[in-house]
Amino acid sequence: MIRTVNLTKRYGKFLAVNQLNLHIEQGSVFGFVGPNGAGKSTTMSILATLMEPTSGHAYVGGFDVTKDPDKVRQLIGYMPDFFGVYDNLTAVEYLDFYAGAYDIPKEKRPALIQDLLELVNLSMKADAYVDTLSRGMKQRLGLARCLVHDPQVLILDEPASGLDPRARIEMKDILKELKAMGKTIIISSHILPELAEMCDTIGIIEQGQLIALAPVDQIASRVAGHRVLRVKLLERAQEAYDQVHYLEHVTNADVQENTLLIHYTGDEAGQVALLSKLVQNGLPVLSFAEEAGNLEEVFLTVTKGVGS
């Protein structure tokens, strides 16, 4: 649904986005993570047709953002990191204004606006002036605004920034709902664990380059270069250790009470063989799982302060 090919953007001599290649499947949620100044907003502005790339291409729904910006605009809802709200309007008037901008017929607007306010949990604020809304409510209203034309793709630039923990959770719940509705979503943040809960894939960008790209449950192991396997036993964890610590692809192993933690660089077939070995040797394995890894650590590892 979204694809970039060697996407590059220069501001004068400064390279903000450098040969970026992304592929985001329809219906998936892509988390775009990077420190301040990494190039996230620039990439998203290009996808939103607000800025042209210096070189390379970007496509949304198969349409080139440079050649077919009108087609792309019909497909996308874009929420920038900073947006103004018209304070002298009520929430309903505000959404009505945008619905009008998208040529939605007047008679269809009341029901649409009611649905949107319900979706973003603002029904009770329908007649409240925008300037009386809290930051979190304004962000949710901004999200409703980019949904008025029922776009298939949402481009959300740090939608949870500046929100308190409760407002973040509310925003997260709404995004989960939008995902369930089948929207394709690209969402940026500089907080990796925050995205992990709602994204299918994570791309880490730094200094305009993609430095890691993987399904959310594999990003930690990809970056670390090994998976952490957690084998829980009823008993005899030390015996289990003795049987696996010397194997190929086991770079480290550790026993913690009845659990054996294995740093493993092999593939999935190798994991199966490892588990089979333990079970065939009669060890009472209760569970065998790959740890998701510590995303905070991953982020700090891959972005070792280069861009900050």
Ligand X SMILES: Nc1ncnc2c1ncn2[C@@H]1O[C@H](COP(=O)(O)OP(=O)(O)OP(=O)(O)O)[C@@H](O)[C@H]1O
Q: Binding of ligand X at residue 47 (CB under 6 A)? A: no
User: How many residues lie near ligand X (CB under 6 A)?
Assistant: 13
**Of 73, 45, 76, which Cα lies nearest the Cα of 157?**
45
Identity of the residue, 264 or 299, whose beta carbon is nearer to ligand X in the bound complex: 299
- Part in contact with ligand X (CB under 6 A); list of ranges 8-16, 65-73, 219-227, 265-273: 8-16
Residue 41 lies near ligand X (rule: CB under 6 A): yes
Distances from the Cα of 201 to the Cα of 2, 121, 182, 183, 211, angstroms = 13, 27, 15, 15, 14
Is residue 302 within 8 Å of 35, Cβ to Cβ? no
The answer to the question of residue 39 lying near ligand X (CB under 6 A) is: yes
Residue with Cβ nearer ligand X (37 or 270): 37
Name which of 79 and 92 has its Cβ closer to ligand X.
79
Residue 14, classed as helix, strand or coil, is strand
Pull the structure tokens for residue 168: 């973040």
Among 54, 28, 6, CA closest to 209? 6
50 binding ligand X? (CB under 6 A): no
Stretch that binds ligand X, among 35-43, 60-68, 175-183, 249-257 (CB under 6 A): 35-43
298 — phi, psi (to 5°)? -55, -50
Q: Quick check: 37 binds ligand X (CB under 6 A)? A: yes
CA distance 126 to 150: 20
Among 20, 22, 30, 34, contact with ligand X (rule: CB under 6 A): 34
Q: How far apart are CA 301 and CA 199, in angstroms?
A: 20
Cβ-based nearer residue to ligand X, 56 or 293 = 56
Q: Interaction with ligand X in 68-127: which residues (CB under 6 A)? A: 81
Q: Which residues in this chain contact ligand X in the complex, by CB under 6 A?
A: 11, 14, 16, 34, 36-42, 81, 190
